[in-house]
Amino acid sequence: MKTVKHKILVLSGKGGVGKSTFSAHLAHGLAEDENTQIALLDIDICGPSIPKIMGLEGEQVHQSGSGWSPVYMEDNLGVMSVGFLLSSPDDAVIWRGPKKNGMIKQFLRDVDWGEVDYLIVDTPPGTSDEHLSVVQYLAAAHIDGAVIITTPQEVSLQDVRKEINFCRKVKLPIIGVVENMSGFICPKCKKESQIFPPTTGGAELMCKDLEVPLLGRVPLDPLIGKNCDKGQSFLIDAPDSPATLAYRSIIQKIQEFCNLRQSEEENLISS
């Protein structure tokens, strides 16, 4: 972990809000700069979606003298997931907590990431073993912060408030919240509708109440799902989509946060 400059956790109390989709596109977006080295770690042991979303299904992990090699999507984008360790797409990882924790420890300790500018950790939904473990194991190595994903409905926000409280309890800085699936623009008539209505004020109100930054809102675009199924970058496939513009703005804010933290630390050290 010493060779990793910035570590970002992508969290949500709620399942199915787009954590993996977001993690993958954060990785794609940052990796567009060839000089930036990106690592994407998928610690969702039961539902490892990252290999599919990154178009890396069926890839194998190799062991070398310096540890496990991540699977490289581009020269500057390496990926690790338990998905790569399973021999069949039907294999279920039916593990209890301690075994999952062991795997996460191995991922963090034994993967030879090399020199990395950004490590993005995609997490499973909830607040359980995996989350406690990753925060504990990375605590010494200093996590820049967490990006929390939600959708506009109260049923998501309910879980996300818990996640924010979890972050505060374990003293994990919160970079901000992303409201995903925020509005839908019909590809035919171009009019907007709300598929997941923000009945209680959406992420905006929650962020205001809990004093957490709202990094942005990403609208639903059917091309996102299609690209994830094909394992392609939606940012490249649909560069003019309002969703792409939203993603890019959010990615920029995350970079700014990380750079600010870095210069704050450097100031602290030099003073």
Partner 1 sequence: MEAAAAEPGNLAGVRHIILVLSGKGGVGKSTISTELALALHHAGKKVGILDVDLCGPSIPRMLGAQGRAVHQCDRGWAPVFLDREQSISLMSVGFLLEKPDEAVVWRGPKKNALIKQFVSDVAWGELDFLVVDTPPGTSDEHMATVEALRPYQPLGALVVTTPQAVSVGDVRRELTFCRKTGLRVMGIVENMSGFTCPHCAECISVFSRGGGEELARLAGVPFLGSVPLDPELTRSLEEGHDFIQEFPGSPAFAALSSIAQKILDTTPMCLP
Interacting residues toward partner 1 by CB under 8 A:
13-17, 20, 45-47, 49, 52-53, 89-98, 100, 124-129, 131-132, 153-155, 158-159, 161-163, 165-166, 169, 184, 186-189, 191, 193-197, 199-200, 220, 222, 225-226, 228-229
The nearest distance, CB 30 to partner 1, in angstroms, is 21
Return the number of the residue (227 or 255) whose C-beta is nearest partner 1: 227
**Which of left, alpha, beta for 95 (phi over 0: left; psi -120 to 50: alpha)?**
beta
Return the number of the residue (11 or 214) whose C-beta is nearest partner 1: 11
The nearest distance, CB 91 to partner 1, in angstroms, is 7
The nearest distance, CB 180 to partner 1, in angstroms, is 10
The nearest distance, CB 132 to partner 1, in angstroms, is 6
The nearest distance, CB 113 to partner 1, in angstroms, is 25
Return the number of the residue (65 or 98) whose C-beta is nearest partner 1: 98
Structure tokens at 199: 């009945």
Question: Can you tell me the distance from the alpha carbon of 114 to that of 15, in angstroms, rounded to the nearest whole number?
Answer: 31
CA dihedral 13, 108, 230, 191 (to 10 degrees): 30
Give 228's Cβ-side CA count (13 Å radius).
Answer: 15
Question: Can you tell me the distance from the alpha carbon of 183 to that of 264, in angstroms, rounded to the nearest whole number?
Answer: 37
Question: Can you tell me the distance from the alpha carbon of 228 to that of 57, in angstroms, rounded to the nearest whole number?
Answer: 12
The crossing angle, in degrees rounded to 10, of helices 19-31 and 242-270 is 70
Reference 103, options 84, 89, 120, 75; nearest CA is 84
The nearest distance, CB 25 to partner 1, in angstroms, is 13
Return the number of the residue (7 or 14) whose C-beta is nearest partner 1: 14
Return the number of the residue (34 or 211) whose C-beta is nearest partner 1: 211
Structure tokens at 39: 């690592």
Structure tokens at 86: 């399973």
Return the number of the residue (93 or 245) whose C-beta is nearest partner 1: 93
